[in-house]
Homo-oligomer: A and B are copies of this chain.
Amino acid sequence: MKKEFSVTPWHVTGKVNYEKLIKEFGTQSVSVSLISKVKNPHSLLRRGLYFSHREFDLWLKDAQAGRKVSILTGRGPSEKMHLGHLIPFLLAKSLQESYNCPVYIPISEDEKFFVKKNLSFKEAQEFADDNVLDLIALGFKQGKTFIAKDFSYLPVYRNSAKIAKLISYSTAKAIFGLKPENNIGWTFYPAVQAFHILWPQFAEGPHKTLVPVGIDQDPFIRLTRDIATHSTLNFQKPSAIHSKFLPSLTGQAKMSSSEQENSLIYLSDSAEEVKKKINKYAFSGGKDTIEQHRKHGGNPDIDISFLYLKYLFEQDDKKLEKIHNDYKSGKLLTSELKNILIDKINAFLKEHIKRREDAKKHVDKFILE
């Protein structure tokens, strides 16, 4: 029987059943009581995009007790960044503000180079440099945020080697579905990814690290938790918190470059492009005619514009509730809802582009070499 959906680090297909994934992967649900313990929880956390975790509670306990904790979340640079890419970084930044902890951001241009047949070495490096500016522009704390590119940071190979010795080819093959025709860089990469996850502990000694990450990346978390405590490493098992996929404008499970450019909002999009994309492509939960919408109301829970406001752009719970109720009752039209989102995104991007320009002056304060 064909599976109704499939989630691996390199492919997501079908309509993802997240409750099933929690059982299949053996993770824990993010509960209301857990969220209530977090200081100033981000909307992504409060409103359910982060739905699953591994020992986030233990990380939180150490953070609240003032013990050393850190956050780790990386970026594989194969294209310009879009809104979907921000999910882990926005949570990381929010938790850094709440707990004043270091954030480590490894840039895995090696992974993208190995996995993407037509991505040249030069392109992978150019995307890495480009993406780093977007990440710095998000406003991470200088002096507490460490970015390193895999091809430019000496500890990557030596520490990945320590991990590689603990992973047999057959184990890597089983976990990641490696194929004989995959290149031997791809085959090696699980060790590099495990190094990333353990990087804060390589740098600062054993402590609790939290990895905010898309649920599709959980196989890396499992592998790393398995080896973290090996006698040659002696680290603590990393904690993780998993997000669902932010749907694309057209409503796909996971945004990616393989879909149409039109169904993604890039951080480099102009105000005009944003307006055009939202108006033309954002999947609507409204009715077919204004008359019907006024009469029966829309469905905000499947409306992409509403979901983007919910997860990313409207932090105020009361304002969001009003939008939700007005849309449901038919008081708020689809075009009006879209305009709210367009204004929010464009305000964000206008600021982002300024901060990105400013980031160019500060790269060396974030990048380790």
Contacts and interface: CB of A to CB of B under 8 A. Distances in A.
A203 interface: no
A181 interface: yes
A121 B155 CA distance: 13
A170 to B, nearest CB: 4
A180 B185 contact: no
Contact of A168 (B169, B170, B183, B232): B183
Interface in A141-198: 150-152, 154, 156-158, 161-162, 164-170, 172-173, 178-185, 187-188, 190-191
Which 8 A-B residue pairings sit nearest by Cβ, starting from the closest? Answer: A164-B185, A188-B188, A157-B157, A170-B180, A151-B158, A164-B184, A165-B183, A154-B154
B187 A184 contact: yes
A13 B232 CA distance: 33
Contacts of A152: 154, 158
Which residue among A170, A178, A188 has the maximum number of chain B CB atoms within 10 Å of its CB? A188
B188 A187 contact: yes
A169 B184 contact: yes
B181 A185 contact: no
Given A121-B232, A157-B157, A232-B121, A114 B165 contact: yes
Nearest to A181: B168
A120 interface: yes
A303 interface: no
A113 interface: yes
B166 A183 contact: yes
A181 B187 contact: no
